Chain A
Amino acid sequence: MRATAMTHAWRAGLRRGAIELRHFARNGKETAGHLFNVVIALGVAAYISEDVPGTRTPMADLVLSGFAAYLLFQIGLVNLPQILVTEREEGALLRLRATPGGIPAYLVAKCLLVVVVAAGNIALLLASAALVVDGPLPRDPVDWLTLLWVTTLGLLSVVPLGAAIGAVLPNPREALALIMLPTMGLLFISGAVFPITSLPEPVQRVAALFPLKWIAQGLRSALLPDSARAAEAAGAWELPMVALVLSVWAVLGFLLAVPLLRRAARRESGSRLSARQHKAAQNGAAPA
Chain B
Amino acid sequence: MTPRSPDAGDVVRARAVTMSYGGVDVLHGIDLDIRRGEVFALLGPNGAGKTTTVEILEGFRRRSAGEVQVLGADPEHGDDAWRARIGLVLQSWRDHRRWQVGELLTHFASYYPDPRDPAALLSLVGLAEQAGQQVERLSGGQRRRLDVALGIVGRPELLFLDEPTTGFDPQARYDFHTLVERLAGEEGVTVLLTTHDLAEAERLADRIAMLVGGRIRACGTPAELARRAAARAEVRWTADDGTARHERTADPSRLVWELHRQAEGPIPGLEVRRPTLEDTYLHMVRREADGAESAVPEEATAV
- Listed stretches A99-107, A126-134, A178-186; interface member: A99-107
A99 pairs with B94, CB closer than 8 A: no
A270 pairs with B55, CB closer than 8 A: yes
User: What is the distance, in angstroms, from A136's C-beta to the closest C-beta of chain B?
Assistant: 36
Complex interface residues of chain B between 38 and 65 (CB less than 8 A to chain A): 51-52, 54-55, 58, 60-61
B150 at the interface (CB under 8 A from A): yes
* CA A88 to CA B67, docked complex, whole Å: 30
| Interfacial chain A residues near B81, Cβ < 8 Å | 100
User: What is the distance, in angstroms, from B14's C-beta to the closest C-beta of chain A?
Assistant: 17
| Interfacial chain B residues near A99, Cβ < 8 Å | 83, 108, 111, 154
A23 at the interface (CB under 8 A from B): yes
* CA A16 to CA B60, docked complex, whole Å: 24
| Interfacial chain A residues near B98, Cβ < 8 Å | 23, 27
| Interfacial chain B residues near A19, Cβ < 8 Å | 99, 103, 107
A273 at the interface (CB under 8 A from B): yes
Q: Mark B87-105, 1 if CB is under 8 A from A, else 0.
A: 0101111111111000100
| Interfacial chain B residues near A268, Cβ < 8 Å | 60
Knowing A16-B107, A19-B103, A268-B60 are in contact, say whether A274-B91 is a contact too (CB < 8 A): yes
A269 pairs with B91, CB closer than 8 A: no
A269 pairs with B55, CB closer than 8 A: yes
B112 at the interface (CB under 8 A from A): yes
User: What is the distance, in angstroms, from B143's C-beta to the closest C-beta of chain A?
Assistant: 12
B107 pairs with A101, CB closer than 8 A: no
B241 at the interface (CB under 8 A from A): no
| Interfacial chain A residues near B110, Cβ < 8 Å | 11-12, 15
* CA A94 to CA B93, docked complex, whole Å: 9
Q: Which of B51, B60, B92 contacts A277 (CB 8 A)?
A: B92
B11 at the interface (CB under 8 A from A): no
B84 pairs with A270, CB closer than 8 A: no
Q: Which of A11, A95, A101, A287 contacts B95 (CB 8 A)?
A: A95
Chain B residue at smallest Cβ distance from A87: B95
A100 pairs with B162, CB closer than 8 A: no
* CA A274 to CA B83, docked complex, whole Å: 22
* CA A106 to CA B205, docked complex, whole Å: 36
| Interfacial chain B residues near A23, Cβ < 8 Å | 98-99
Which residue of A99, A105, A277, A287 has the most chain B CB atoms within 10 A of its CB atom? A99
A252 at the interface (CB under 8 A from B): no
| Interfacial chain A residues near B129, Cβ < 8 Å | none
| Interfacial chain A residues near B88, Cβ < 8 Å | 95, 98
Task: Bin the interface of chain B by size.
Answer: 20 to 34
B90 pairs with A100, CB closer than 8 A: no
A270 pairs with B97, CB closer than 8 A: no
B240 at the interface (CB under 8 A from A): no
A95 pairs with B150, CB closer than 8 A: yes
| Interfacial chain B residues near A94, Cβ < 8 Å | 90, 93, 95
| Interfacial chain A residues near B111, Cβ < 8 Å | 8, 12, 99-102, 105
Q: Mark A244-283, 1 if CB is under 8 A from B, else 0.
A: 0000000000000000000000001111011001000000
* CA A162 to CA B58, docked complex, whole Å: 30
A92 at the interface (CB under 8 A from B): yes
Chain A residue at smallest Cβ distance from B153: A99
* CA A191 to CA B102, docked complex, whole Å: 48
B169 at the interface (CB under 8 A from A): no
A238 at the interface (CB under 8 A from B): no
B211 at the interface (CB under 8 A from A): no
* CA A36 to CA B55, docked complex, whole Å: 44
* CA A11 to CA B107, docked complex, whole Å: 11
Q: Which of B54, B58, B84, B94 contacts A91 (CB 8 A)?
A: B94
| Interfacial chain B residues near A95, Cβ < 8 Å | 88, 93, 95-96, 150
A270 pairs with B95, CB closer than 8 A: no
B96 pairs with A98, CB closer than 8 A: no
Q: Mark B71-94, 1 if CB is under 8 A from A, else 0.
A: 000000000110110101011111
Q: Which of A5, A271, A288 contacts B80 (CB 8 A)?
A: A5
| Interfacial chain B residues near A232, Cβ < 8 Å | none
| Interfacial chain A residues near B80, Cβ < 8 Å | 5, 100-101
A270 pairs with B94, CB closer than 8 A: no
| Interfacial chain A residues near B162, Cβ < 8 Å | 270
| Interfacial chain A residues near B96, Cβ < 8 Å | 90, 92, 95
Binding site for B on A (CB under 8 A): 5, 8, 11-12, 15-16, 19, 23, 27, 87, 90-92, 94-95, 97-102, 105, 268-271, 273-274, 277, 287-288
- The 3 closest A-B CB pairs, nearest first, are A274-B92, A100-B80, A92-B95
- If A16-B107, A27-B98, A100-B111 are given as contacts, then 10 extra A-B residue pairs at C-beta distance below 8 Å, sorted by A number, are A23-B98, A90-B97, A92-B96, A100-B81, A100-B84, A269-B55, A270-B54, A270-B55, A277-B94, A287-B94
Q: Would you mind naming 7 contact pairs between A and B with Cβ atoms under 8 Å apart?
A: A16-B107, A19-B99, A99-B108, A101-B80, A271-B51, A274-B90, A274-B92
